[in-house]
């Protein structure tokens, strides 16, 4: 690390000495980590890679748990096993442990899948960055463009020499060029490419403010809608409650009238036990039966008198 600093300092001293006879040296720098964090394609691919890494780690953990279970089972059954069976179990455990190590090396080793896929993932972005850096370096006449996130130690760097945003803007514009199809989109792209980084930032700030205002407006509308729905639901519940009360009151009145009709004149008599008639009162059915019996007695009496008359005549 000190060697890098020394070499870099030596280069600056030499370039500074040379600049006295010629023009001043222009040096810019980029932050590769910042650029990668703001490239959507890289972030999407990184998310997929992280998901795959999580699956690999889960597989390793699963295999380690199986080995631990085998070890525990062997310890529990050791006193019941012969030496041959113990050795066979131990060989099986060692075999599985070696398989786990090989799997870890295959996935996470220096030549493993993680390093390969990360290289495949970052190479296209690096190519875009290098092309953008070359463009900006030529346009702004930079003699050197350094990577702030590399092993090269930068003890101090003025922000005005940071061209990371220009590189990001160049990458985004290159991506848009491959996507535009209609003429209007091409015209919009040409207008946007004529803007500087500061102008782009200002426009993005205005768009973000407009979007925030729109979001606030939508939230306000949603809150009003929720309040209105709450009031309507409360009114509906109150209406349903009053409707139930009215129906229940009507049913009580109806039941009361039917009870009064079925009781007849018995309502004036002293009340008895529930389900029983008061003493000395008859139900309609009993009165009907009594009338029929009275009629039958009268008929029998008439027939009996007629029979006696006939017998007396004889």
* Interval 7-56: pLDDT, tens: 445 455 444 544 444 557 888 888 888 888 888 888 888 898 999 999 99
Global pTM? 0.47
Q: Name the residue with tokens 């889960």.
A: 58
Cβ atoms within 10 Å of 39's Cβ, excluding its own: 20
**Backbone phi, then psi, for 30, in 5-degree steps?**
-130, 155
**Backbone phi, then psi, for 48, in 5-degree steps?**
-65, -40
Assign domain 25-194 to its CATH architecture.
2-Layer Sandwich (3.30)
Q: Name the residue with tokens 């514009």.
A: 173
202-248: pLDDT as tens digits: 766 777 787 888 888 888 888 888 888 889 888 888 889 888 989 88
Boundaries of every domain in the chain: 25-194
Q: Under 8 Å CB-to-CB from 108, ≥6 apart: which residues? A: 56, 114
Tell me how many helices (H) and strands (E) the chain has. 9, 2
Residue 160 DSSP class: G
CA separation for the pair 302, 308 (Å, rounded): 10
């Amino acid at each position: 690390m000190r060697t890098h600093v020394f070499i870099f300092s030596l280069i600056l001293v030499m370039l500074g000495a040379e600049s006295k006879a010629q023009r001043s040296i222009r040096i810019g720098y980029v932050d590769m980590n910042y650029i990668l964090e703001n490239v959507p394609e890289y972030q999407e691919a990184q998310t997929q890679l992280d998901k795959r890494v999580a699956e690999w780690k889960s597989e390793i953990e699963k295999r380690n748990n199986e080995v631990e279970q085998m070890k525990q089972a062997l310890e529990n059954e050791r006193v019941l096993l012969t030496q041959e069976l113990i050795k066979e179990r131990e060989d099986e455990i060692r075999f599985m442990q070696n398989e786990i190590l090989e799997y870890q090396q295959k996935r996470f080793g220096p030549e493993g899948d993680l390093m390969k896929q990360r290289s495949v993932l970052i190479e296209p972005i690096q190519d875009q960055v290098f092309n953008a850096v070359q463009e900006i370096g030529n346009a702004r006449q930079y003699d050197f463009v350094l990577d702030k996130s590399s092993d090269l130690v930068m003890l101090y760097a003025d922000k005005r020499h940071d061209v990371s945003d220009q590189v990001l803007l160049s990458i985004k514009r290159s991506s848009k060029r491959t996507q535009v199809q209609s003429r209007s989109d091409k015209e919009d792209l040409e207008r946007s490419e004529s803007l500087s980084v500061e102008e782009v930032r200002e426009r993005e700030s205005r768009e973000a403010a407009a979007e925030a205002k729109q979001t606030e407006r939508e939230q306000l509308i949603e809150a009003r809608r929720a309040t209105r729905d709450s009031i309507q639901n409360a009114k509906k519940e109150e209406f349903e409650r009053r409707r139930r009360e009215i129906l229940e009151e009507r049913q009580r009145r109806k039941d009361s009238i039917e009870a009064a009709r079925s009781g007849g004149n018995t309502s004036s008599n002293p009340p008895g036990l529930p389900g029983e008639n008061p003493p000395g009162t008859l139900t309609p059915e009993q009165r009907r039966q009594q009338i029929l019996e009275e009629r039958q007695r009268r008929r029998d009496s008439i027939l009996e008198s007629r029979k006696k008359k006939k017998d007396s005549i004889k």
